[in-house]
């Protein structure tokens, strides 16, 4: 009984406070994390292909019953799958340990918690953008992004 109570107390411990980024810190972190984001995106895409390949073999085996299973090929695919899964996990952990949030791995969307005008916001960056130039409230999403500086005309403009 006492062990169960100890487990419950550990589960109810408060989460550490969310890290808040300045624009400079977020931009520096974004630059450091971009290679990990690319690695995670690539690993996820390759994993999806391998999972489809494994599912197709499983479906063939189920439908055909006594089909000869290409064990060596499947073992190689499974090994590659496990390696990619570990690479993906490592890249995601590296990103998340900074306090940055991954909002969409398919498009490479990262949010950095911040405060602007006493309001909790996310500094928002999408892969392919030259720098962090947008933000949105934490209760909003990508569609509600606003420019950090209304005079910011886009890539190449140095206003920040």
Q: Dig out the tokens for 157 from the structure.
A: 């403009």
3-state helix, strand, coil in the chain (%, to 5): 50, 15, 35
pLDDT band at 158 (very low <50, low <70, confident <90, very high): very low
Share of the chain above pLDDT 70, in %: 82
The residues with which 120 forms a beta bridge, in sequence order, are 115
Model confidence over 79-128: pLDDT tens digits?
Answer: 999 999 999 999 999 999 999 999 999 999 999 999 998 999 999 999 99
**Whose CA is closest to 128, among 37, 47, 43?**
37
Which one-letter DSSP state was computed for residue 140? S
Residue 67's pLDDT is what?
Answer: 65
Residue 135's pLDDT is what?
Answer: 95
Distance from C-alpha of 78 to C-alpha of 50, rounded to nearest angstrom: 8
Please say if the pLDDT value at position 55 is more than 90.
no
* Tokens 């130039």, residue located: 133
* Tokens 């006492």, residue located: 2
Please say whether the beta carbons of 95 and 125 come within 8 A: no
Residue 159's pLDDT is what?
Answer: 42
Residue 70's pLDDT is what?
Answer: 75
């Amino acid at each position: 009984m006492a062990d169960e109570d100890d487990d419950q107390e550990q589960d109810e411990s408060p989460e550490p406070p969310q890290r808040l980024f300045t624009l400079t810190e977020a931009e520096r972190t974004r630059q450091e994390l971009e290679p990990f984001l690319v690695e995670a995106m690539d690993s996820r895409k390759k994993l999806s292909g391998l999972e489809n390949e494994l599912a197709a073999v499983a479906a063939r085996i189920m439908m055909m019953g006594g089909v000869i299973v290409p064990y060596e090929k499947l073992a190689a695919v499974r090994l590659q799958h496990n390696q990619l899964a570990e690479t993906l996990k490592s890249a995601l952990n590296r990103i998340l340990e900074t306090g940055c949030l991954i909002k969409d791995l398919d498009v490479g969307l990262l949010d950095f918690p911040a405060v602007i005008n006493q309001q909790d916001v996310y500094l928002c960056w999408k892969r392919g953008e030259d720098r962090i130039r947008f933000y949105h409230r934490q209760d909003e999403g990508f569609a509600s992004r606003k420019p950090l500086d209304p005079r910011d005309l886009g890539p190449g403009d140095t206003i920040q």
